[in-house]
Structure 1
């Protein structure tokens, strides 16, 4: 069994994810984008909590592909990741002990950098060239 990346409980992960998405729904920039793609918030929060449980606790309960999901979302743009991470960081600081929040933030920023680069590349590639 692989030890967790940092000490955190499943209930802390679930509570943080729930608080984050409550904030997202109210955010003037992120809320409308998420609302176009998320039809069942409870199911989405459960899925994302499983993602983080896998990323932090090394559980094998998540089977999605977040990169593909974000790449397919036509209205997700690279600058949104800084906003997303800023909001996520504020939730982490409010809901978790400082060391746990810092460790989770570092992980989220590493993941966010990869997504940001992929979306930036997608958007700068322009339309496909045929022929």
Structure 2
């Protein structure tokens, strides 16, 4: 197994994911969007934890395409990613040591830019001008 990209344990990943999605469910803008797509929160959190374990720890087991999922969700808008990342950063800072939180945040922002770009490509006004909100 490769060296972890960030010094974090699977238990910490699961804790961050659970705390983050508790915030998402309570968020007035993000909560309703997620509620339309997530019917089994424990399964969703396990899937997302597996994603992070793969991305950070190099663990096998995650099967999926976050870009496809976000692009196919017609009610996910590019502007939502800044809210998502702000909640995620807040969660990281509260749940992890500062250095670990910062390293994970950098990775999350890189992934968030990719997801936002995928959603932006899907959403355009006439003439190809992106819809950002």
Coarse TM-score class (shorter-chain normalised): over 0.9
Between the aligned partners of 1:62 and 1:117, the Cα distance in structure 2 is 22
- Runs of 4+ residues over 2 Å off in structure 1: none
Count of residues in Structure 1 that have an aligned counterpart in Structure 2: 126
Gap runs ≥5 in structure 1: 127-131
Deviation string, structure 1 residues 55-86 (Cα, Å, up to 9, x no partner): 00000110111111101100000000000000
Partner of 2:16: 16
Partner of 2:61: 61
Counterparts in 2 of 1:27-38, with a 5 A limit? 27-38=27-38
Between the aligned partners of 1:88 and 1:44, the Cα distance in structure 2 is 16
Between the aligned partners of 1:118 and 1:66, the Cα distance in structure 2 is 10
SS in 2 for 1:124: coil
Partner of 2:85: 85
Q: Please give the root-mean-square deviation of Cα atoms over the aligned residues, in Å.
A: 0.9
